[in-house]
Structure 1
Amino acid sequence: MKINLNSLSGLLFFAILLITGCKPNSSTQETDLPTGFILQESDLPDYEKDIDHRELLTALDDRSDESIRTGEHIYNNTCFNCHGNPDQEGSMPNAFKFWEGEFKVGKDPYSIYQTLTRGYGSMPPQVSLTPTEKYDLINYLRETFIREKNPGQFVEIDSTYLASLPMGSTTGPAPKEFKPWAEMDYGNFLINTYELVGLNAPERERSSGPSPLPDENLIKANFAYKGIAVRLDQGKGGVAAGKAWMMFDHDLMRVAGALTGEGFIDWEAILFNGKHNISPRTVGDLHFSNPVAPAWANPSTGKFDDPRFQARDGRKFGPLSREWAQYKGLYQFRDRVIIFYTVGSAKVLETFGLETLENQPIFTRTLNISPSVKPLKMRIAPKGTAVGLVGEGAVLKEESGFLVMETSPSRPIKVKILIGKSGIKGLSQYAKTTTPPESLESLTTGGPSRYPQKLTSEVQSGTQEGPFQVDIMNPPFDSPWKNQFRLSGIDFFKDPNKGVICSTDGDVWMVEGFTKNSGNLTWQRIASGMFQPLGIKVVNEEIFVTCRDQLVKLHDFNGDRETDYYEAFNSDHLVTDHFHEFAMGLQTDKEGNFYYAKSARHAREALVPQHGTLIKVSKDGQKTEIIATGFRAANGVCINPDGTFIVTDQEGHWNPMNRINWVKKGGFYGNMFGFNPPKDSTEKGMEQPLVWVERDRDQSPSELLWVDSKKWGALNGKLLNLSYGYGKVFVVPFEKVGSQVQGGIFELPIPRFSTGVMRGRFNPGDGQLYLCGLSAWGSTQPQLGGLYRIRKVDQPMVIPVGIQATKTGITLTFTDNLDATSVQDTSHFRVKIWDLLRSRKYGSKHHNEQILQVTKAELSPDKKTIKLTIPNIKPTWGMEIQYHIKDDQGVLREGLVQNTIHQLGEVTTR
């Protein structure tokens, strides 16, 4: 699969540099570079083939200080997340340590440049860096970490070395700061977790040290954990291009604050600029703010006391009770946002606006409140803030240091609240002249299209040899809204030519052209501004999206397909400020209940019960239940035919390697940093995975799915695993011994995709597999997002789809007939096993590696099943079975099955 670099122009820079160690080449310049690069020379831009490396390295003498400052900036803002420094371990402890490791590809500057440019192993190619920036980064690494701390890896740049470099005529394009996350038009609102701070804000407190990291003291920080940032000023470009904003927190039905300024937020977040362990902060002038507490008094008691779940660090999380107040959703009308929620028995519609008084901004809140059984009270702002009230049925009061609005019961109310900075003069008089509060009902039935353009993209049909062909269906990267298209979920309607795709940047797209094979796809943006969508499901032709803050149901009222109402179908999510707690995947069972997985905090102990869990939401959205616990980074959900689940997990603390888990209700899956873990931290205290996935096979498994297509022949009904880390697809042969499911993975014979692969669905129309993916946190693949189709063609597969571990050996069952003579040669098989060490440390190296002798290999009468006799077979964390045999047509078939054995079954006859 050739990677189209034209589609990489919007690539985020994630300098993950996961270079693992090995012995260095003894020569000064590594002229015999490895062949395992991710990008081939033909994939590179033309200028890379004509770079004057001698000039770039020589120029470092004249700009040494500037170069090192630039390299330090690049390292600290991107690379440090994973690599850390000699004093502080990075978030991925297995990442290469420049101050002590040994380069795998080459230690001289030119070799390191090649690795940065083309990618190698776990390191993605850094296509967004210019040649000058690459050498700035290399210069910083050499002078800061390598020269003194790791001198064996330092190569002097002398005249002999410079003379050995390839000659060229260009130094490439000039460096340019690239911030696609800040340039995208998200629409006029964007939901995220925000920390509200004013000008001259204090530095963030960020803990460090061994894992688990201690909790920071954030009890006084003003986080809108489910913050709806709404742009108030007019203009193009959406919320990111605004100059005035209101921030609404839908956990507490509070206005967290109002801001103005030349910048929206600092974009410090893993899915913005790639930073770990951080949430975005506001950067403008904070005109007023309210603390993290209920905005409306409890209708039953008239008190503002916060009864929500209190975490270990003293903070409270989650929504208020439904009886108190409940967020119902968000209407969009042109660029206006109307928020719908309830307080007790009353329904509230609220919208925000911006007016001016003597060139000073006045923020407005217009509320339509239906009749309530009891009087209602709402905190508007702290005492001293300038506040005015327009309308009837409500009055302003002071209570416990706040300006409070109190409403009359048993009557509909329309009010407009005016809020300005403390010290603004004349607001009372201005309130008499401003427009009266408007009726908002007319804004809730749908408005004109906000994104009327329909975009097209070309389908590149695959012509690969073998049983599978891969069609590249890249999205329209040149969209007018500068979308990043980091695709994170896909599903189809009853019309299989039409589907929906979500992106983690907040969008949902209606896509047509899947089955008509016209050579093009049509893309229509139908929703935007949502909080990190990572799963989507069509249920009875209705669209549901998993977001970090809620399960959203999309409604189109006027037939233009665009979302007019973002219904909060379920918002029981317990959201904290931690960057790692993604809400992943979306599936439904036969009864219509919904399921998604919630990741835990990275390198920290859980704060809320939902951290690291599989979650069930009832069919009507009214109930949330935790099904299983103990996950670290659970990337999606698969529902099995028997009603159980499969959830993957990633290598890390308490996870010595990646896991594929066959999940039982009530099970605990190993992460002792999860919420309320069992006292037994040994392997006996957790459920064992189906397989421990070796990092060389897959750095980061994502979602699994069952093949549901007769066109896929012998693979129909089999299990597939998708690879976010390496952009692969695996078959998962497995067995059940007693109550334990165990098995392995086998990579499909297709090239790596240019993104990590997140989600897949079989299209009921053409019976083929459609995949979408992205590259953001920790993927090795270079492209931001992608859409693909895998077509099964009429060629033999010869893929292992069955595995049994018995007391005498291993049995492998293939999709196609094999050659008996080839199979009987035991030298055609190599079996290796190893142990792992599970601990609070990040990951594990191999322990007790052994080669097991295969003393006999025989082909069963069905001609598809190989029985390997292995006298020393035993349960093992990891096993690799390599083979090179022939099929019944004499074609050589080489492959590797990587598996786990928990129990040895009895020998059966076939």
Structure 2
Amino acid sequence: MSQIVKNQVRKWGVVSFVVLSLATLLLTGYTHYEANIFNQPDSTNLNPFVETGFPYISTSVDARKLGTAFPADNQAARTLALQLGDSAYACFDTDLLRWSVAWTGKFLPMVLMAQISYKNFFNKNNGIAKLTGEAKIATGPYAGWTVGKPIFRDGKTTLDQTWKALPAEQARWSGVYVYGNQAILSYSVGDSKIFELPGIAKFEGQVAFTRTIRAEHIASDLYMTVAEISNGTSSEVKGKIAYVYQGANKDSVTAIGIAGKGAWQPEVTDGKYLTVKVPASSKQSEAMVLIWKGPTKSIKAFEKLCRIKPAALPDFAKGGPTHWKETITTKGVTAPDTAAFVTDQLTLPLANPWKRNVRVADIAFFKDGRAAVVTFEGDVWTVDGITKDLANVKWKRFASGLHEPMSIEVVRDTIYVFDRGGIVKLHDLNQDGNADYYENFSNIMPQSAESREWAADLVYAPDGSFYVAKGGSLSNGPGMTSMAVGKGFRTGSDQNGTILKISPDGRRFEVIATGLRGPYLGLHPENGTLTATDQQGNFVPSTPIYVIKKGDYYGVPPTAHRSDNPPIAPPLTWIPHSVDRSSLGQAWITGNKMGPLNGSLIHFSFGTPGLFRVLIDSTSKIMQGGVSYINASYPAPTSKGAINPADEQLYVTGFNLWGSASVGISSLMRLRYTGKPSYMPNQFRAGTQGVILGFDSELDRAAATNLASFDVKRYNYNRTEEYGSGHFKLDKSTGEEIMPVAGAYVSADGKKVLLLIPDMTEVMQMEVAYRLLAKDGKKMNDHFYFTVNSSDDINLKKYGFDNVDLALLTAKKTEMAAQPARVEVASIERGQEVFQKMACAGCHSPGTKTDGMYGPPFKNLYKSQRIFDDGTKVLADESYLRESILSPSKKIVKGYNEEMPSFVGVLSDSEIESVILYIKSLSGN
């Protein structure tokens, strides 16, 4: 172990060292398959994102600028980018069932979010995949197959870019079979079933693309559009071959030929569309379609090639060869039982024979306690050996090729994954531990190619349906669509920023809620209660948690997708920016082995990172709630989790990319209940008289009745098109109201405290900081953050409070009004405290680090020249720094996005001055 690593172990402790080790393992590669996080590997790096042995990746592609020979409008959000061998490739659009483009040379550039960050873990500068090779054939954004006649987008029939799949009764993507390094495409056209094997054939230095097709149940004539040639000069059909010539001297040609004995016939329409007619037949029909673009002098050789006898499709329905035979064994790290809840680490299989990155996005469980995890790379792994000591955790790759998946479910021991292609149902046809058939369970939800329109979340409901959450089409990424009405958004699909319910058969959907920016879900697996979070940003002033009801609208106009001007549904609770600036999933603790957390809703914070216990006050007229942090070690951002039916503990996944206070890359951990006492809040009630907080442990009465043990404040947010919000008093002036505690009482059972607070009313955010002792002497210093949606009268006796002097409410209010304001002194030290407390450190480095940071670094910032998106420049003096803190969206530094909320009313003048002094100190001033 290097001296640097030893120093870090001494400085941070063993648990924090896990973070360093995970990052180091990812950065340096692996030399053996027996993984141990304390073994420092010597050499090798991650292999490329695209694996040579797997036939495709799922991706989006922009093929709008291929040249005059090709259609000008050609984008595809959901495609399989097929590796056909010998530097030849094709993209199959699973929405429109067409070859959107085929080419030779280099594969697509790896610039999408999961791809560009695959090795450079904090790189968020994703792009749009555009061809760098030589395009050979392409089609426009219309159906690749039709019934009865060919239909094109040329004025006769228009099929606008809706980012939706074709209507299922017209045609539908069924899925893909993986057979070795080949992909067999499966889809339906009308009542006909189509199976297609893409490939290539080489002749005289030329490459012809092949489509070997089996068609079944052909009730009506079918038409397949193979290519669109925009600059054709003439065309002809000779027998089983059709030609479109290009150039004044006809020196180049695009041709299609039919190999096989069937009655399939090539056709040319309008001198530009090459199609194939598949006649109606009661029998199964097979043929190979060859497509070629090249010099006219090679026509004879192509005609000869078309006389070959096409090979039969492989017997794919029984499963293919095993792709990933190896099982990777890792040794987990169990935490000492030092608290009620601790986190054990299931070491990731980073040392694997494929040198594959493993950034775990979500987890689900089989009935026997085995797990399935999905990675942002697009892989699914199964995990066995999840025992108490985690001594032999066994990992096996199960599936690959998915498109930025972030959700996984196991239903009746079958794996479902939600990615940009839709909900994929995975089948192991030959029981070899690898998926052979990637079934399209549902692609009924539209999906644009906008990089932030995430396939964000998938949860399974007790009635057999699924709920999905789709990210909003944010403008802080490369755009393929126009800007939307509303700052910070692009148009995307007509269901971006929504929650949908998908029917048990995957064929129907209903819109449950709209108006969200970046929602993630939680669902109670027994009673079906659906919750969601949203991402702070434009129109979302801070982090909310919602209890979702059908028909609700949550306040983001660009994702409203309705015209009835509905009211904005209130959240269960807001969470301050400094506490959780980026939220993700939720999970319910079911079973009876998590002690005080049994039955609780758990909220996952990406930015903090960590888990929060959510308390719900359902006795009020409007449901309201609050959160408290579960103190434990979190070596990487926490994103999603699930209860293991075997041990009934919560397993938590997460990976880093978008800006978190954590430096870890990814982790899979177990939140385990040790049986030791818990000191967290477990009950919450807010009303006219004040706030009741219940705790897991009995309280020391002297500390709990001491008014100096509590600090309470409240404030509202402003929901505007700007990013986030400052803090505002109830009279709408800037700032926060410090609330007096008029009295404190302990309940008869000793576990609840009543805080009498004058002037209680509805407010978006309240905070209670408490410094208590448990009866056993344990210090309980923490915060509880909550929202008051309805300030109703509390039945104090019901909660165990008798002889409460409510007259204190009036007396304390008068006393506090006469107190002078506190005088605060600015200092560098205080500025550094604010920098940490307000989570500035998660986006801005105090040094020069830019990886993983959303904002510019602070070292040498003062008096440097700032260049903005519009080309203007300014010197970073005190005035500029103050403006950046209070109005961060006014000037955006070039290369960065608008992702900082205003600190108006959040920081006092003294705190702002302290932060400026701290920034100046980092520049030697």
Output the TM-score relative to the length of structure 2.
0.74
Aligned positions of 1:527-542 closer than 5 A: 527-542=399-414
Q: 5+ residue gaps in structure 1?
A: 7-36, 47-116, 119-123, 131-175, 203-217, 235-242
CA distance in 2 between partners of 1:343 and 1:758 (Å): 39
CA distance in 1 between partners of 2:15 and 2:286 (Å): 61
Q: Pick closer, same or farther for the CA change 1:591–1:368 going to 2, 3 Å.
A: same
Contact 1:198 1:285 in 2 (8 A): no
Contact 1:127 1:782 in 2 (8 A): no
The residue number in structure 2 matching 1:327 is 173
Aligned positions of 1:607-618 closer than 5 A: 607-618=492-503
- Say which SS state the counterpart of residue 603 (structure 2) adopts: strand
Aligned positions of 1:681-830 closer than 5 A: 685-738=567-620, 740-751=622-633, 753-830=634-711
CA distance in 2 between partners of 1:545 and 1:726 (Å): 27
| 1:253 is the counterpart of 2:97 | yes
CA distance in 2 between partners of 1:194 and 1:781 (Å): 33
Aligned positions of 1:462-481 closer than 5 A: 462-463=335-336, 465-481=338-354
1:28-65 alpha-carbon deviations (Å, 9 max, x no partner) = xxxxxxxxx9995679999xxxxxxxxxxxxxxxxxxx
Q: 5+ residue gaps in structure 2?
A: 29-42, 118-122, 230-243, 245-253, 475-487, 730-735, 800-925
CA distance in 1 between partners of 2:296 and 2:635 (Å): 55
The residue number in structure 1 matching 2:213 is 367
- Say which SS state the counterpart of residue 558 (structure 2) adopts: coil
Task: Give the counterpart of 2:553 among 668, 676, 687.
Answer: 668
Contact 1:715 1:815 in 2 (8 A): no
| 1:864 is the counterpart of 2:751 | yes
- Say which SS state the counterpart of residue 623 (structure 2) adopts: strand
Task: Give the counterpart of 2:378 among 501, 506, 518.
Answer: 506
The residue number in structure 2 matching 1:590 is 462
CA distance in 2 between partners of 1:532 and 1:257 (Å): 22
| 1:407 is the counterpart of 2:278 | yes
Q: Pick closer, same or farther for the CA change 1:581–1:448 going to 2, 3 Å.
A: same
The residue number in structure 1 matching 2:312 is 439
Shift of 1:687: 0.3
Q: Match of 1:397, as an amino acid?
A: E
- Say which SS state the counterpart of residue 618 (structure 2) adopts: strand
Aligned positions of 1:77-116 closer than 5 A: none
The residue number in structure 2 matching 1:623 is 508
Shift of 1:605: 4.5
CA distance in 1 between partners of 2:156 and 2:531 (Å): 31
| 1:224 is the counterpart of 2:76 | yes
Shift of 1:641: 5.4
Task: Give the counterpart of 2:137 among 272, 288, 299.
Answer: 288
The residue number in structure 2 matching 1:651 is 536
Superposition RMSD in Å:
3.4
The residue number in structure 2 matching 1:139 is none
The residue number in structure 1 matching 2:443 is 571
- Say which SS state the counterpart of residue 328 (structure 1) adopts: strand
The residue number in structure 1 matching 2:896 is none
Shift of 1:872: 2.6
CA distance in 1 between partners of 2:523 and 2:158 (Å): 32
Shift of 1:451: 1.0
CA distance in 2 between partners of 1:892 and 1:484 (Å): 42
CA distance in 1 between partners of 2:766 and 2:715 (Å): 7
Shift of 1:437: 2.3
Contact 2:363 2:652 in 1 (8 A): yes
The residue number in structure 2 matching 1:339 is 185
- Say which SS state the counterpart of residue 711 (structure 1) adopts: coil
Contact 1:678 1:685 in 2 (8 A): no
1:775-830 alpha-carbon deviations (Å, 9 max, x no partner) = 12233322332110111012110110111111010000111111111111010001
Radius of gyration: which is bigger? 2
1:847-897 alpha-carbon deviations (Å, 9 max, x no partner) = 230110101111100111110000132222111101011111122111100
CA distance in 2 between partners of 1:316 and 1:219 (Å): 18
| 1:601 is the counterpart of 2:473 | yes
Shift of 1:301: 5.7
CA distance in 2 between partners of 1:437 and 1:528 (Å): 29
1:416-468 alpha-carbon deviations (Å, 9 max, x no partner) = 11122242543454454464223326123211101111112110111152112
- Say which SS state the counterpart of residue 316 (structure 2) adopts: helix
Shift of 1:706: 1.3
| 1:634 is the counterpart of 2:519 | yes
CA distance in 2 between partners of 1:660 and 1:41 (Å): 33
CA distance in 1 between partners of 2:615 and 2:544 (Å): 15
CA distance in 1 between partners of 2:182 and 2:389 (Å): 38
Q: Pick closer, same or farther for the CA change 1:371–1:708 going to 2, 3 Å.
A: closer
Shift of 1:842: 0.8
Q: Pick closer, same or farther for the CA change 1:197–1:520 going to 2, 3 Å.
A: farther
CA distance in 2 between partners of 1:666 and 1:594 (Å): 17
Output the TM-score relative to the length of structure 1.
0.75
Q: Pick closer, same or farther for the CA change 1:179–1:563 going to 2, 3 Å.
A: closer
CA distance in 1 between partners of 2:470 and 2:50 (Å): 29
- Say which SS state the counterpart of residue 822 (structure 1) adopts: helix
The residue number in structure 2 matching 1:835 is 716
Contact 1:308 1:316 in 2 (8 A): no
Q: Match of 1:303, as an amino acid?
A: I
Aligned positions of 1:483-494 closer than 5 A: 483-494=356-367
1:565-614 alpha-carbon deviations (Å, 9 max, x no partner) = 00001111211121111112222222111111111111215443311111
Shift of 1:255: 0.5
Shift of 1:515: 2.7
CA distance in 2 between partners of 1:571 and 1:472 (Å): 35
Shift of 1:177: 14
The residue number in structure 1 matching 2:256 is 387
- Say which SS state the counterpart of residue 256 (structure 2) adopts: strand
Aligned positions of 1:48-197 closer than 5 A: 182=49, 187-196=54-63
CA distance in 2 between partners of 1:201 and 1:706 (Å): 56
Shift of 1:269: 3.5
Shift of 1:739: 5.2
Q: Match of 1:389, as an amino acid?
A: I
Shift of 1:769: 1.2
CA distance in 2 between partners of 1:627 and 1:277 (Å): 31
Shift of 1:725: 1.8
1:464-501 alpha-carbon deviations (Å, 9 max, x no partner) = 521122111121112222322111111111111x1111
Task: Give the counterpart of 1:456 among 326, 329, 333.
Answer: 329
CA distance in 2 between partners of 1:806 and 1:875 (Å): 9
Contact 1:389 1:431 in 2 (8 A): no
| 1:356 is the counterpart of 2:241 | no
CA distance in 2 between partners of 1:308 and 1:529 (Å): 37
Q: Pick closer, same or farther for the CA change 1:219–1:286 going to 2, 3 Å.
A: closer
| 1:902 is the counterpart of 2:793 | no
CA distance in 2 between partners of 1:127 and 1:492 (Å): 27
1:342-394 alpha-carbon deviations (Å, 9 max, x no partner) = 11111110011122121122211111111311111111112431322212220
The residue number in structure 1 matching 2:877 is none
The residue number in structure 1 matching 2:241 is none
Shift of 1:412: 2.1
Shift of 1:258: 1.1
Shift of 1:686: 0.6
Shift of 1:179: 8.6
Task: Give the counterpart of 2:151 among 298, 303, 309.
Answer: 303
Contact 1:633 1:649 in 2 (8 A): yes
CA distance in 2 between partners of 1:891 and 1:621 (Å): 52
